Amino acid sequence: MEQHETMDRQSRPYGPSPSYILIPLLLLLVIVAGPIDCKPPNILFILADDYGFHDIGYHSSEIETPNLNRLAAGGVRLENYYVQPICTPTRSQLMSGKYQIHTGLQHEVIYPEMPSCLPLDDVTLAQKLKESGYATHIVGKWHLGLYKKACWPTRRGFDTYFGYLLGSEDYYTHKRMGGLDLRDQEEPAWNYNGVYSTHLFTQRAQDILRGQNSSQPLFLYLPFQAVHDPLEVPERYLQPYLHIKDEKRRIYAGMVACMDEGIGNITQTMDQLGLWKDTVLIFSTDNGGQIYQGGNNWPLRGWKGSLWEGGMHGIGFVHSPLLPAKVQGTINRELIHVSDWFPTLVAGLAGGSLNGTKLDGYNMWNTISRGDPSPREELLHNIDPLYAPPTTHSMPVIRAKVFNETIRAAIRSGDWKLITGSPGNSSWIPPPGSGITPPTPHDPPDKMVWLFNITADPNEYYDMSSQRPDVVQRLMQRLQYYYEGSMPAFFPPLDPRANPKYHNGTWSDWEK
């Protein structure tokens, strides 16, 4: 033994053994950085429906949102953040990381009887997170197609699904146009009549959290029905807002309060279960508020469905105990778009691979967590050739070979935003009862081109298209570039086979 010991010592290289160095270093790392944990963070993504820019407390709203305010105040508020003007397009870009022009969903929404969905060859955010070992759940509104079961969230990467395949359901009966639209996995969920959907979705999210294996990272996608119409809310949420004389605004305010309460309950449950310390929460709206249904986007111009800022300048923030202290409680004004969440969550948070995906989004995690400049310098809001006026009302719209100013489109490049075609209602609408007198738009009816310096003029008061024809020309060329690379808009006629009377009173698939 002594001989062997002597030989071992003589055979060692000069200097201390690597173990003598590595062990103290590892201990130092544990002391400084805490225990080594390779598990990616939990991701809670909350999407509010038709939630207006003015309707969150920290935007000086008369609607109180204490939980959202608290989370935003301790996180990173995104104040140069964009979504799409209506429901399906925002959800398609979140799930695919692609502009609408690259999925064929650039025109309107997917209607209940429409044989359409997010293209089946597009890999979804949920599928990529599953590749990184995540448990994936969706609770709430899908609105990315139902005509084939292959379109359903259970077939697009989600382990569990509870919610609506469509939109605009009654909050209590969960029906739309006479058909039940509530699914638990793939089965109709008949047993929840009379349960308010915001409460229902909150409770299901809490149930999922209580059953979560803490050793596995969690992706919980929570696209609330709130605060989309119909305007319905339990009476107790109206009490703080009885002073609001406008009935729609009053009910809408109660719906916001109920959603805020639900979000507070969910985050509290995560904290009680020990999940919160390892969680990144993202909050976003899907589009601007609907003025006719109580929402408000003041001081922005326009509303839901428009290419003005009120239609798509979104509310957004990120909150997490994992964020560095230097960015907690800050406002981020870097340009960020809803399509950016796909690479941000997959590559930036989950550490997953983006191989096999062709994305329009950018990984924004360093921008959010460190305050780095945004890698995004340009943002295509949309190009919708189906809004181009036909030669006669009886003729279909024919796709133009060259992009022109009659086509409905908008693009952001640096400080500049160009709008063409028919952008939607151009009014500024102050909150009901505010006493504010807004400016009046004076655009001629045949106007087709607007140019704004959005950084200097975020409310779009000063059209600069005549002063800066050079910028107009440059951005028109960029729209032509995107137009050449776009897919034809897919907007098929409605199919009567979708009628719930053929599916036991439910909205369901009707093609194999």
Say how many residues make up the chain: 512
User: In whole numbers, what is the pLDDT of the chain averaged over residues?
Assistant: 92
CATH classification at residue 367: 3.40.720.10
Picking from 328, 352, 376, the residue at the C-terminal end of a domain is: 376
Report pLDDT for 388: 54
* pLDDT at residue 397, as a whole number: 57
Which tokens hold the place of 306?
Answer: 């428009």
In the chain, the number of structural domains is 2
Query: How does pLDDT run across 264-311, given as a tens digit for each residue?
Result: 999 999 999 999 999 999 999 999 999 999 999 999 999 999 999 999
Residues 328 and 215 in one domain: yes
- Dist CA 265 CA 274 (whole Å): 14
CA angle 438, 441, 442 (to 5 degrees): 140
State the chain's maximal CA–CA distance in angstroms.
Answer: 102
Are 371 and 455 found together in one domain? no
Angle, vertex CA 297, rays to CA 438 and CA 328, nearest 5: 130
When pLDDT is averaged across residues 228-244 and rounded to a whole number, the result is 97
Instruction: Tell me 125's DSSP state.
Output: H
Tell me whether residue 511 is in a domain. no
Is the same domain home to 417 and 342? no
Q: Are residue 79 and residue 66 in the same domain, yes or no?
A: yes
**Domain annotation covers residue 162:** yes
Which of 59, 87, 137, 337 is the catalytic position?
87
Looking at the structure, tell me whether residues 364 and 420 fall in a common domain: no
Residues 432 and 306 in one domain: no
Asked if residue 391 has pLDDT above 80, the reply is no
What's the rounded Cα separation, in Å, for the pair 360 and 376?
A: 10
Which two three-digit tokens encode residue 272? 């009680």
Please say whether the beta carbons of 282 and 268 come within 8 A.
no
Q: Do residues 309 and 452 touch, judged by C-beta distance below 8 A? A: no
Domain assignment of residue 348, yes or no: yes
Phi, psi of 185, deg, nearest 5: 60, -115
Helix, strand, coil percentages (3-state) for the chain, rounded to 5, are 30, 15, 50
* Residue 11 CB-density burial (10 A; 0-12 exposed, 13-18 middle, 19+ buried): exposed
Domain holding 466: CATH number? 3.30.1120.10
What is the DSSP-derived secondary structure letter of residue 148? B
In a domain, 22, yes or no: no
Order of strands, sheet of 449-453, starting from the edge strand that comes earlier in the sequence? 378-384, 408-413, 416-420, 449-453
Instruction: Using alpha carbons, list the distances in angstroms from residue 89 to 106, 303, 324.
Output: 7, 16, 32
Are 102 and 165 in the same domain? yes
As a whole number, mean pLDDT of residues 314-325 equals 98
42 pLDDT higher than 70: yes
Evaluate whether residue 3 is within a structural domain.
Answer: no
Could you give the C-alpha distances from 152 to 120, 160, 180, 224, 494, in angstroms and in order?
10, 11, 16, 17, 19
Residues 386 and 368 in one domain: no
38 counts as catalytic:
no
Say whether pLDDT at 393 is over 50: no
Answer yes or no: do 341 and 432 share one domain: no
How much is the average pLDDT of 233-238? Answer: 98
* Cα 20 from Cα 224, distance rounded (Å): 55
Q: Is the per-residue pLDDT at 116 higher than 80? A: yes
Residue 102 lies in a domain: yes
Catalytic residue (one of 143, 174, 313, 319):
143
Buried b (16+ CB within 10 A) or exposed e, 342-379: bbbbbbbbbebebeebebbbbbbbebbbeeeebebeeb
Residue type, 226: A
Same domain for 394 and 294?
no
Same domain for 358 and 425, yes or no, is no
Q: CA-based Rg of the chain, rounded to a whole angstrom?
A: 25
The helix or strand, by DSSP H or E, that contains position 256, with its residue range, turns out to be helix 247-272
Assigned domain for 343 exists: yes
Strands 408-413 and 416-420: antiparallel
Question: Among residues 347, 376, 405, which one ends one of the domains?
Answer: 376
Q: Given pLDDT bands bounded at 50, 70 and 90, which one contains residue 396?
A: low
Residue 504, in any domain of the structure: no
* pLDDT score of 38 more than 90: no
143 belongs to the catalytic site? yes
32 band by pLDDT with thresholds 50, 70 and 90: very low
Same domain, 408 and 440: yes
Structural domain boundaries, residue 109: 42-376
